[in-house]
Amino acid sequence: MAATDIERGLSTAEVEERIAAGKINRNMELKIKSVRELIIENLCTLFNLINAVLAILVLLTGSFKNLTFLFVVFLNTAIGVIQSMRSKKMVDKLTLLTSKKAIAVRDGAEVELDLDQIVLDDIIRLGRGDQIPADAVVVSGEALVNESLLTGESDLIKKQPGSELMSGSFIDSGLLRARVIHVGADNYVAKINNEAKYVKKVNSEIMNALNAIVRFASLIMIPLGLALFASSVSELWDAAGTPGDSALSWCFSELLAGRVPSSALLSTVGALLGMIPQGLVLLTSSVLAIATVRLARRKVLAQQLYCIETLARVDVLCLDKTGTITSGRMEVEGTYPLPVEGVGFGADSDEAAVPVETTVLDFALANVARATSADANETCQALLNYYADRPVEVSEPLAVIPFSSSKKWSGASFAQGSYVMGAAQFVLSERAFAQVENRVAELADTCRVLVVARVDGFTPDGDMVGEAEPVGFVTIRDEIRTSAAETIGYFNEQGVTLNVISGDDPRTVSSIARVVGVPGADAYVDATTLDTPSKIDAAVDRYHVFGRVTPQQKRELVHALKRRDHTVAMTGDGVNDVLALKEADCSVAMAAGSDAARNVAEIVLVDNDFASMPAVVAEGRRSINNLQRSAALFLTKTLFSMGLAALCIAFPPYPFEPIQMTLINFFCIGAPGFVLGLEPNNARVKGSFLTNVLKRALPASLAVIMAAALDIFVARVFGFNRLTLSTMCLLTSCAASVSLIWRISQPLTPLRVVLFVFVVVGILAGVIGFPQLLSIANLSTGEAVILLAIIVFTCTVFFKLATMMDSLKPRRRHAATGFGRGVRVRLGRGGGKVSSTGSTAQRFAKRVAADMAQRREERTAREAEVRALEGVEKAQPKKKKGTGVTRSRVTKSAQGIKVSMPSKKKKPANKA
């Protein structure tokens, strides 16, 4: 582009032409779900559908007291919606902190535009602190650019005419103009984001177990429910004297006459309700929601409930260096003075003396940094922080030479002499550099090295006068978080394998990993050599430190670890981490990082402190261990309800009514489940969630089924009525549940003793105090004695079965796969891969989702065109009131992203 074009920029006609061609910088950021999507996601579940159908059946009977189970459904849905909305609100607040404006040159004037109003070939002006809105090429000026969020490189990159700028990076110092070469989906950041736009399956044993139980229950409910209803109707038909041709025709005639067989319907619904682990779903949501609230107090945002559990099960933790182990800032590692004779002490010189207690190196570093602090880059800021609390005399500068990317040094003159600071090969002559080259190489193994030298002065153009004589070195490195070593030590103690994956130089990454105590940090690999999948596979087994890693390689490394059956967590803060964060089983992002990283991560560290990770693990362990204990109570009801329903098909009627299941749900399952589910528990997670729960639940379930069978047998032999049978089954079930509570409460604590007493007293109070509400029969002495004998039998069977179950050793499992409909086969040099495309319904759902996504994309394109045209209107020439444009400035700070707003100045009053 010609110099005149650089000053003029695009014309209005050229902008409109590009808008018509769709060359607009459309917003391609990863977006979080809308409020509507979050509500639908939590409302439209299989669990809610089953309960809704059962509620309709109960409404048909007119027995509204049996609708109390809907409260659990409502509460569970509300918890999911509230948690999702809370996470969305927090992420929205964080997103507001990023830059959303840019300065473009159009028709010879500078105009402020929204980022989505930029078009291809726009000339944009960028200065210190600005975030680059689109891929561009520098056409004038020069600057140092921080690309750490994109590449992981902590060093600043010099950009001059002809250099390319990547969208998402920050200008650290300097001023330039650049021509936009990519917009929208063609931007570097957008390409990374597009690769992460897929739905990641949540790797949660608890969620998978719950889904498996609900799916199994939903499949078995239909045949069992129909058979049980038919059996109950048949019994009613017999009681009515077998009118009509059959029980089915009689049932239809009753329905047509408006008479619903309520008892048959209620007993069927009661059986089906027992098969659904309502309380377990609610308990899981509640325990994990409480865990997210506790973590929020520690400045940790859990955007997905089950991620807390996943992190507690992690056995490999992949760490990004910049922003995770290090703070993203620079710090002084050390100063190394050289022997200096007769310099700066006033000997044979008119210069003032450097204080005796201060080395020449310290004096020069502290004062040059102070003198150039007006435009302090990261190196200068590190020196200012280092000398902030060190007693070094402040000297007034006589001349200041700011840092220049072309010179690679900065300097200043004082009464005590003139000093420069910068890269040794640029500051020193070949002779002087040769004398210190070995020392520089030794220090440069782990840090950036700057030399400090004394010169005779500076020319009016800012060049050095005389040959620079070195007085010492200062080493600068990434500032390591104070808590990093302790946190990494914690994960080492927990047996978690640690991998450091960074886009930075592998030697630098290795040195930092060694400092914080990552095992195996001495061995590292440069990922530029890992150019094939087989090399990546081999490196995963051999190394724990990876440098020069591209975003795609980070994802491949995580994928390789998952193929080895590891549960992998990934931490990061940049765009270069997005693909790996999306691939990992559990992803953790820093709040000060990129929007994309925050939006794909399940956990966001709001205070950017890696030390919060152990607290997340502790919450996960507490949740898993306590849920494993409490889930046994809920699953017991599901299993015995299924078994009892099958038994009652042959021997009707089903003995429980829905209201009786409410008593069991509250005192035998809900109350003890919630209390035990919220206890402190930091023990390591062992075994499979479902296996551990089944080992506790099966003995109680079998005991209840055997007791119910005995109750039915006794009732038929002695001619007990239905109400008496229902009462006997209720109390024997409660006895088995109380025995289970006693067993899982070991070892006893004061809280567990109180809980046990509460359960027993609550059951007795309900049975004795509300017999009519709970349909409790008034038992005779003989019936009570028989009931007591069955209760003793039930408890004995339970404890025997529980002891047998505990003695079983875990069996090794071997996965097996087979072919079926919808099989996808991929062949390649690395071997074949067989996977499923899903059922017909799943494939149809995917096609519908794809069509909806395409329509959203077209709508977004139309909206982007309207926004861009608004930008054209802004750029129309107006009355000149000045050429300066005041706008907000976005920079990276210690607390994350800092937004500086312009101050508003009052216009002076017009003179009369």
Q: Across residues 293-313, what is the average pLDDT?
A: 83
Using the predicted structure, report yes or no on whether residue 827 has a pLDDT greater than 60.
no
pLDDT given for residue 680 in this prediction = 74
Check residue 307 and give its pLDDT: 83
655, containing H or E segment: none
Calpha distance 572→587 (Å, rounded): 8
For residue 472, what are the CA distances in angstroms to 170, 307, 359, 438?
Answer: 32, 50, 10, 14
Sequence-distant (≥ 6) Cβ neighbours of residue 724 within 8 angstroms: 715, 777, 779, 783
Record the tokens describing residue 621, joined without a space: 């362990």
**Range list of β-strands (E), 621-762:** none
Alpha carbons 272 and 57: distance in angstroms, whole number: 11
The tokens describing 559, both together, are 């994928």
Rounded Cα gap, residues 729 and 708, in angstroms: 6
Element (H, E) at 526: strand 525-526
Task: Identify the top-confidence range among 141-150, 650-659, 739-748, 784-793.
Answer: 784-793
Residue type, 641: S
Of 55-69, 566-580, 648-662, highest mean pLDDT: 566-580
DSSP three-state, residue 734: helix
pLDDT at 318 over 90: yes
What does the DSSP assignment read for 176-203?
Answer: EEEEE---GGGSHHHHHHHHT-SPPPP-
DSSP 24: B
Task: Give the residue-averaged pLDDT of 560-568.
Answer: 90
Give the C-alpha separation, 156 to 167, whole Å. Answer: 15
Tell me which residue has tokens 């028709």: 107
Evaluate if residue 420 carries a pLDDT over 70: yes
Contact assessment for residue 371 and residue 419, using Cβ atoms and an 8 Å cutoff: no
pLDDT at 814 over 70: no
Sign of the dihedral through C-alpha 302, 303, 305, 309? negative
What span, in angstroms and rounded, lies between the C-alpha atoms of 165 and 147? 9
CA torsion through residues 176, 15, 121, 132, sign: positive
Q: What is the pLDDT of residues 503-524, one digit of tens each?
A: 877 888 888 899 899 999 999 9
303 confidence band (pLDDT: 50, 70, 90): confident
> Above 70 in pLDDT, residue 826?
no
pLDDT at 184 over 60: yes
Whole-angstrom distance, CA of residue 172 vs CA of residue 148: 11
pLDDT at 181 over 80: yes
- Rounded Cα distance between 703 and 168, Å, is 63
At 595-607, the pLDDT tens digits run 777 777 888 888 8
pTM of this structure = 0.63
Tokens of 208: 């998978």
Give the C-alpha separation, 500 to 324, whole Å.
Answer: 10
Q: Is the pLDDT of residue 786 over 90?
A: yes
- pLDDT of 312 strictly over 90: no
Q: For helices 689-718 and 205-239, what crossing angle results, to 10°?
A: 10
- In angstroms, rounded to a whole number, what is the distance separating the alpha carbons of residues 736 and 742? 10
* Nearest-angstrom CA–CA distance, 45 and 215: 11
Q: Quick one: which of 519, 505, 553 has its CA closest to 533? A: 553
Q: How far apart are CA 228 and CA 54, in angstroms?
A: 15
**At which residue do the structure tokens 């050289």 appear?**
338
Q: State which amino acid sits at residue 904.
A: K
Higher pLDDT among residues 829 and 307, named by residue = 307
User: Strands 896-900 and 889-893, how do they pair?
Assistant: antiparallel
Q: Per-residue b/e over 133-167, b at no fewer than 16 CB within 10 Å? A: bbbbbbbbbbbbbbbbbbbbbbbbbebeeebebbb
Residue 392, token pair as written in the block: 């070094």
Catalytic residue among 130, 320, 595, 609: 320
> Pick the residue with more confidence: 247 or 120?
120
Q: Is the peptide bond before 655 cis (omega within 30 degrees of 0)?
A: no
Q: What does the pLDDT average to over 247-274?
A: 69
How many CA atoms, within 13 angstroms, populate the side-chain half-sphere of residue 282? Answer: 22
Task: Quickly count: other Cβ atoms within 10 Å of residue 214's Cβ.
Answer: 21
Q: Look at residue 907 in the predicted model and tell me its pLDDT.
A: 44
Say yes or no to pLDDT of 429 above 70: yes
Close Cβ partners of 168 (under 8 Å, ≥ 6 residues apart): 131, 132, 149, 150, 188, 189, 575, 594
- The DSSP line for 359-417 is -HHHHHHHHHHHHTGGG--HHHHHHHHHTTTS-------SEEEEEETTTTEEEEEETTE
What is the distance between the alpha carbons of residues 662 and 671, in angstroms, rounded to a whole number?
12
Closest by CA position to 319, among listed 566, 147, 148, 502: 502
Cβ neighbours of 903 (radius 10 Å): 6
Identify which of 630, 650, 654 has the alpha carbon closest to the alpha carbon of residue 640: 654
Question: Is residue 412 over pLDDT 50?
Answer: yes
In Å, the largest CA–CA distance within the chain is 130
pLDDT given at position 518: 93
Q: Percent of the chain beyond pLDDT 90?
A: 16
CA 707 from centre of chain: 47
Question: 402 with 380: CB under 8 angstroms?
Answer: no
Closest CA to 115 of 43, 190, 48, 41: 190
What pLDDT is attached to residue 892? 41
Give the C-alpha distances (Å, rounded to integers) separating 249 from 61, 225, 228: 19, 19, 17
- Residues 473, 339 contacting (CB under 8 angstroms): no
Pairing of strands 603-605, 586-590: parallel
Backbone φ, ψ for residue 633 (5° rounding): -65, -45
- Residue among 145, 365, 193, 180 at smallest CA distance from 892: 145
Show the tokens assigned to 600.
């794909």
CA atoms within 13 A on the CB side of 588: 30
More confident residue, 545 or 692: 545
Cα separation, 302 vs 306, in Å, equals: 9
Task: Show the domains of the chain with their CATH numbers.
Answer: 12-195 (2.70.150.10), 212-287+625-807 (no CATH), 300-325+481-606 (3.40.50.1000), 329-340+357-479 (3.40.1110.10)
Mean pLDDT of 267-275: 73
Encode 527-557 in three state secondary structure.
Answer: HHHCCCHHHHHHHHHHCCEEECCCHHHHHHH
Question: Which pLDDT value is given to residue 798?
Answer: 92
Per-residue pLDDT tens digits for 146-180: 776 676 565 677 788 989 998 878 887 788 899 99
Question: Looking at per-residue confidence, does 476 or 214 come out higher?
Answer: 476
Give strand ranges (E) for 579-657. Answer: 586-590, 603-605
pLDDT value at 790 more than 90:
yes
Radius of gyration of the chain (CA): 36
pLDDT at 824 (0 to 100): 47
Identify the residue with better confidence: 243 or 315: 315
The answer to whether 12 and 123 have CB atoms below 8 angstroms apart is no
Q: DSSP character for 816?
A: -
Q: Report the pLDDT averaged over residues 192-211.
A: 68
* pLDDT score at 877: 53
Q: How far is CA 123 from CA 11, 598, 822, in A?
A: 11, 30, 51
Look up 320 and say whether it is catalytic: yes
Whole-angstrom distance, CA of residue 97 vs CA of residue 274: 50
Name the nearest CA neighbour of 571 among 538, 511, 612, 531. Answer: 612
pLDDT tens for residues 709-728? 999 899 889 888 888 988 99
Counting Cα atoms < 13 Å in the Cβ hemisphere of 315 gives 9
CA dist 867 → 15, 26, 27 (Å): 13, 9, 11
Q: What is the C-alpha separation between 801 and 266, in angstroms, rounded?
A: 32
CA distance 232 to 652: 6
Q: Give the pLDDT of residue 558.
A: 92
Euclidean distance between CA atoms 902 and 422, whole angstroms: 33
Query: Can you tell me the mean pLDDT for 723-748?
Result: 89
